[in-house]
Amino acid sequence: MQVRISGRHIGVSDAVKQYCQDKAERLTRFYDRIQSIEVVLDGKPGQHSAELIVHVDGSDPFVANEQHADLHAAVDLVLEKVERQLTRHKERHRNRKHMPPDEGH
């Protein structure tokens, strides 16, 4: 799985890149068919935003945005959003496979 980290209007330090890399790699615990992850960090004075785009097999990409004064907090919050999206997608997919056949209603 490939993780790409980029900054828009800000430079991304190695420490921040490593932090994002470690956190993003944990998403495979929630869904194992992840192909690649893009992390886009943006900074304005006093306000940071993180955008996460997760590409998976057989589905549209999952996208989440979050803003916070602290860059690390923005990354954590956006990861939580994507974790919920992946979990919900996995549950829907699993439940659809195990539904009883329709009796013609």
- Is residue 44 in a domain? yes
- Is residue 104 in a domain? no
Rounded Cα distance between 7 and 9, Å, is 6
39 φ, ψ (degrees, to nearest 5): -115, 120
Q: How many domains, the chain?
A: 1
Q: What contacts 63, CB < 8 A, 6 or more positions away?
A: 51, 52, 53, 54
Rounded Cα distance between 6 and 100, Å, is 45
Q: What is the pTM of this model?
A: 0.84
- Is residue 103 in a domain? no
47-84 tens-digit pLDDT: 999 999 999 988 899 999 999 999 999 999 999 999 99
Read off the tokens for 41.
């960090």
Domain residue limits at 65: 2-97
CATH number for the domain including 39? Answer: 3.30.160.100
**pLDDT band of 101, cuts 50, 70, 90:** low
- Is residue 105 in a domain? no
pLDDT: is 98 or 26 the higher one?
A: 26
